[in-house]
């Protein structure tokens, strides 16, 4: 969907209602202030509509797929309708399977467990650990960080051209970086993968909350994302895409729900006939409330219109980037450059400040919640920082590995529920901290920088 920025701005004069928008927090300097939640890339606040939908359903909660009672039947219908709603949200193909999981990490580990024998995996070092690490049992080729979208495609094409052409192959790529917010050329990477006989899985954890994701249009084989980043709580995620590898694989978990038929053998063992549907990888009692909350969030975002949501978010992105650019001590981290399209995720460093110290001051003195560290993307952040990971700050950041401390980055992230006041306060706070310094004293406690009392 595309709409003009001017038209979209008129239709989205206010952010979508989310839980926590009226929460106040104490300041070390005295008084309280409305909490500015600017850590959406870690977990976005739940949409109010999602919470209301779940609350309305909660009295009717029952175990799915097993009970003859009314509540179990109702819950089963709700669970399977949620599957269809999410598949429509992702514009899945008619023969795709959609499996409910615990998270993006769980989804990608499920797919890793379903890889055919001898599968080669290609993944950029720039990935979040959820998409960087699950492939340890496969033949993995880690690709260097590209500096332009075109270079990303060329790097992948060279790597695929040198692979064994007779075996299966999989490319794993993010849709939007959880560090820089930059959009990756997913459609072009998918075309490159398919041209060389490989499949591709899209990590859409940071893309789906901010942009429409069409499996058909992007021509990806699978897509994975998490509910908690899509304004839906309760620890649920999604893996959707081609059914053949999933049907051929052993169940991700063995147990009730995944099995169609279990019989004893005369030798004392058991024979198992597994489901071929999504149930094959959904053993145990599923998280029906988590699945329902994802479906509810999909409906809210669809009804709001991604054209309007994207336009408003870009308005906030420009506010933050313009404000930070006016502070010479601030350096925004980027792979693809200032003009690269991005979602509401921005990481930066401040000269003379340890990231943990800066983030602690934003919280304690301004009521602003951001994130500091390596953001579960250690190779990427270290590449962007270009600094010695052994460097220790004066108010130490958390240990990234035994005996290792580093000057990490600060990440601010926002989305459909963020009011202008939160980003305005953030920009003002950055400027004041850099020019005037913190008004409070801080110390290190359990690896974190905290206000001294």
Neighbours of 248 (CB within 10 A): 10
Q: How far apart are CA 430 and CA 346, in angstroms?
A: 14
Q: How far apart are CA 174 and CA 374, in angstroms?
A: 17
E strand map for 276-370:
330-332, 345-350, 368-369
Q: How far is CA 186 from CA 48, 75, 177, 295, 398, in A?
A: 31, 36, 12, 24, 33
Asked if 246 contacts 114 with a C-beta cutoff of 8 angstroms, the reply is yes
Q: How far apart are CA 309 and CA 306, in angstroms?
A: 5
For residue 342, the 8-state DSSP code is: B
In 3D space, the residue among 286, 290, 292 whose CA is nearest the CA of residue 64 turns out to be 286
SS3 call for 388: coil
Length of the chain: 453
SS3 call for 396: coil
Q: How far apart are CA 27 and CA 361, in angstroms?
A: 10
Hey, what are 392's tokens?
A: 């220790």
Phi and psi angles of residue 402, each rounded to the nearest 5 degrees, phi first: -55, 120
92, 172, 376, 395: which is the annotated catalytic residue? 376
Phi and psi angles of residue 273, each rounded to the nearest 5 degrees, phi first: -110, 115
Phi and psi angles of residue 304, each rounded to the nearest 5 degrees, phi first: -70, -30
Q: How far apart are CA 45 and CA 19, in angstroms?
A: 6
Asked if 378 contacts 392 with a C-beta cutoff of 8 angstroms, the reply is no
Catalytic, 376? Answer yes
Hey, what are 453's tokens?
A: 């009392």
For residue 232, the 8-state DSSP code is: -
Q: How far apart are CA 290 and CA 283, in angstroms?
A: 15
Which residues are CB-contacts of 378 (< 8 A; sequence separation ≥ 6)? 129, 400
Asked if 347 contacts 41 with a C-beta cutoff of 8 angstroms, the reply is no
Q: Among all residues, which ones are annotated catalytic?
A: 376
């Amino acid at each position: 969907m595309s709409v003009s920025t001017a038209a979209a701005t008129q239709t989205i004069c206010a952010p979508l209602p989310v839980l926590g928008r009226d929460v106040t927090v104490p300041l070390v300097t005295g008084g309280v202030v409305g909490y500015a939640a600017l850590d959406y890339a870690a977990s976005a606040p739940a949409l109010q509509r999602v919470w209301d939908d779940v609350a309305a359903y909660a009295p009717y909660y029952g175990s799915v797929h097993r009970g003859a009672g009314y509540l179990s039947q109702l819950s089963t219908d709700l669970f399977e309708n949620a599957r269809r709603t999410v598949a429509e949200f992702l514009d899945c193909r008619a023969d795709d399977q959609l499996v409910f999981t615990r998270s993006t990490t769980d989804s990608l580990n499920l797919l890793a467990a379903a890889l055919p024998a001898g599968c080669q995996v290609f993944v950029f070092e720039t990935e979040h650990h959820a998409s960087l690490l699950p492939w340890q049992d496969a033949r993995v080729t880690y690709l260097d960080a590209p500096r332009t979208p075109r270079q990303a495609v060329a790097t992948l094409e060279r790597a695929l051209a040198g692979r064994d052409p007779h075996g299966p192959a999989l490319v794993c790529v993010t849709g939007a970086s959880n560090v820089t917010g930059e959009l990756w050329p997913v459609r072009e990477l998918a075309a490159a993968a398919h041209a060389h006989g490989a499949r591709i899985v899209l990590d859409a954890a940071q893309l789906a909350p901010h942009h429409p994701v069409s499996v058909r249009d992007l021509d990806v084989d699978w897509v994975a994302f998490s509910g908690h980043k899509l304004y839906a709580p309760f620890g649920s995620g999604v893996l959707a895409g081609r059914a053949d590898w999933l049907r051929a694989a052993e169940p991700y978990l063995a147990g009730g729900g995944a099995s169609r038929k279990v019989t004893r053998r005369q030798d004392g063992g058991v024979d198992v006939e597994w489901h071929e549907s999504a149930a094959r990888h959904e053993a145990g009692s599923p998280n029906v409330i988590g699945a329902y909350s994802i479906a509810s969030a999909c409906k809210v975002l669809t009804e709001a219109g991604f054209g309007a949501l994207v336009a408003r978010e870009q308005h906030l992105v420009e506010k933050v980037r313009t404000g930070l650019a006016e502070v010479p001590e601030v350096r925004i981290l980027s792979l693809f450059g200032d003009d690269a399209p991005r979602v509401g995720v921005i990481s930066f460093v401040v000269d003379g400040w340890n990231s943990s110290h800066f983030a602690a001051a934003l919280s304690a003195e301004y009521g602003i919640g951001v994130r500091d560290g390596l953001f579960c993307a250690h190779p990427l952040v270290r590449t962007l920082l270009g600094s010695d990971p052994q460097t220790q700050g004066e108010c130490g950041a958390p240990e990234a590995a035994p005996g290792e401390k580093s000057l990490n980055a600060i990440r601010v992230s926002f989305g459909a529920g963020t009011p202008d006041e939160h980003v305005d306060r953030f920009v003002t706070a950055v400027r004041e901290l850099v020019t005037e310094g913190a008004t409070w004293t801080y110390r290190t406690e359990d690896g974190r920088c905290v206000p001294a009392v």
